[in-house]
């Protein structure tokens, strides 16, 4: 994810909402000894605005607060207030189509594993971001590698939180995939079942039915839930289950979903190949229609 024009993300112009006020983009800083930096006590959301409306804004705001609870801290703003902050940030930056990033973290009052009394900070940034994957790759279908790291046992991590620390193995896996010429990597879980990609959920198609891994040790994405609902509205069967890697040769289509990825077809995973076809294209179109702001009746 690069900033428009190749600018580093700390060198852009604009405004970031930070702890109750708008500050110039380049001045939105935190101290090097912030607990969130050293001990990953940080949660965030990835959202998109279409035509000035943030898609599923309430669901994202509620999940942000819930993620903080899983990490044992409370964001000092309600979901309703967070929704208003996001909308105000979008308007302050005069954007209508944008990526929206709320982030909350523990501050720097104490340094050590325990940080019950550290202050909790909240910031919201927005910026233009047309597509997570290269448009040409997206058109042909992504090439995915198999990740070395696996999604951990939920007894070892707060797997329902969208927390910064849980993305460490995702960054490592995506870097490795890109070095080998792939767009991303598919991760297995601790049992060896198919889990997800580094920043997106994954779906497969067989005989017109959609199969997707049960999210029992990774994030049940908001886009994932949206696409499942869209598929059911179209009369498509959706089967959530554990999927073994060796089953991939029996699937005809594959696609990934996420706020950044939206609905993106997959052409191959390691040596398994797929061809984007009717189901994938139908859900791509349905999702595009779903995220557009609905016109209010006069």
pLDDT tens across 218-245, in order?
Answer: 999 999 999 999 999 999 999 999 999 9
Q: Are 10 and 31 in contact (CB under 8 A)?
A: no
- How do 262-269 and 253-258 pair as beta strands? antiparallel
Distance of CA 70 to the CA centre of its chain: 18
Band of residue 30 on the pLDDT scale cut at 50, 70, 90: very high
* Four-residue CA torsion sign, 160, 165, 169, 173: positive
Q: Which domains does the chain have, with CATH numbers?
A: 4-127 (3.30.470.10), 135-291 (3.20.10.10)
296 or 272, which is more confident? 272
For the record, the structure tokens of 148 come out as 């070395």
Distance (Å, whole) CA 194 – CA 134: 24
Please pick, among 56, 86, 162, 174, the residue that the annotation labels catalytic: 162
4-9: long-range pairs with CB below 8 Å, 24+: 4/127, 4/128, 4/129
Rounded to the nearest angstrom, the gap between the alpha carbon of residue 49 and the centroid of all alpha carbons in its chain is 14
High-pLDDT (> 90) share of the chain, %: 92
**140-188: per-residue pLDDT in tens?**
799 999 999 999 999 999 999 999 999 999 999 999 999 999 999 999 9
Residue 295: Cβ-neighbour burial (10 angstroms; 0-12, 13-18, 19+) = exposed
Provide the token pair at 191. Answer: 């049992």
At 295 the pLDDT is 60
Query: How confident is the model over 268-297, as a mean pLDDT?
Result: 91
Lowest mean pLDDT among 97-101, 132-136, 249-253, 283-287: 132-136
Section 246-271 average pLDDT: 97
187 and 150 Cβ atoms separated by less than 8 Å: yes
SS (H, E, C) the chain: CCCHHHCCCCCCCCEEEECCEEEEHHHCCCCCCCHHHHHCCEEECCEEEECCEECCHHHHHHHHHHHHHHCCCCCCCCHHHHHHHHHHHHHHCCCCCEEEEEEEEECCCCCCCCCCCCCEEEEEEEECCCCCCCHHHHHHCEEEEECCCCECCCCCCCCCCCEHHHHHHHHHHHHHHHHCCCCEEEEEECCCCEEEECCCEEEEEECCEEEEECCCCCCCCHHHHHHHHHHHHCCCCEEEECCCHHHHHHCCEEEEEECCCEEEEEEEECCEECCCCHHHHHHHHHHHHHHCCCCCCC
pLDDT, position 132: 60
Q: What is the pTM of this model?
A: 0.93
Query: Looking at residue 294, what is its pLDDT?
Result: 77
Known catalytic residue: 162?
A: yes
Q: What is the pLDDT of residue 130?
A: 75
pLDDT digits over 83-116, tens only? 999 999 999 999 999 999 999 999 999 999 999 9
């Amino acid at each position: 994810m690069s900033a428009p024009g190749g600018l580093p993300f700390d060198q852009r112009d604009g405004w970031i909402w930070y702890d109750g006020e708008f500050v110039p983009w380049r001045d939105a800083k935190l101290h090097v000894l912030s607990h969130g930096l050293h001990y990953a006590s940080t949660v965030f959301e990835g959202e998109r605005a279409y035509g000035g409306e943030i898609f599923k804004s309430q669901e994202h705001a509620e999940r942000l607060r819930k993620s903080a609870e899983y990490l044992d801290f409370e964001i000092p703003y309600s979901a309703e207030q967070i929704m208003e902050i996001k909308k105000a940030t979008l308007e302050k930056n005069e954007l209508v189509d944008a990526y929206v990033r709320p982030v909350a973290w523990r501050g720097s009052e104490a340094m050590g594993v325990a940080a019950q009394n550290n202050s909790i900070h909240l910031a919201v940034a927005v910026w233009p971001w047309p597509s997570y994957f290269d448009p040409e790759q997206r058109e042909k279908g992504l090439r995915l590698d198999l990740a070395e790291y696996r999604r951990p046992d939920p007894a070892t991590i707060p797997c329902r939180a969208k927390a910064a620390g849980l993305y460490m193995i995702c960054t490592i896996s995506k870097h490795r995939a890109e070095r080998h010429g792939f767009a991303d990597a598919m991760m297995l879980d601790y049992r060896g079942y198919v889990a997800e990609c580094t920043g997106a959920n994954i779906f497969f198609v067989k005989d017109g039915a959609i199969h997707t891994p049960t999210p029992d040790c990774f994030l049940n994405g908001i886009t994932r839930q949206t696409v499942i609902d869209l598929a059911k509205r179209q009369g498509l069967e959706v089967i959530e289950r554990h999927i073994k890697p060796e089953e991939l040769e029996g699937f005809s289509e594959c696609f990934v979903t996420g706020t950044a990825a939206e609905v993106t077809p997959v052409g191959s995973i390691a040596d398994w190949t797929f061809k984007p076809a009717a189901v994938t294209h139908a859900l791509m179109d349905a999702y595009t229609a779903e995220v557009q702001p609905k016109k209010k009746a006069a």
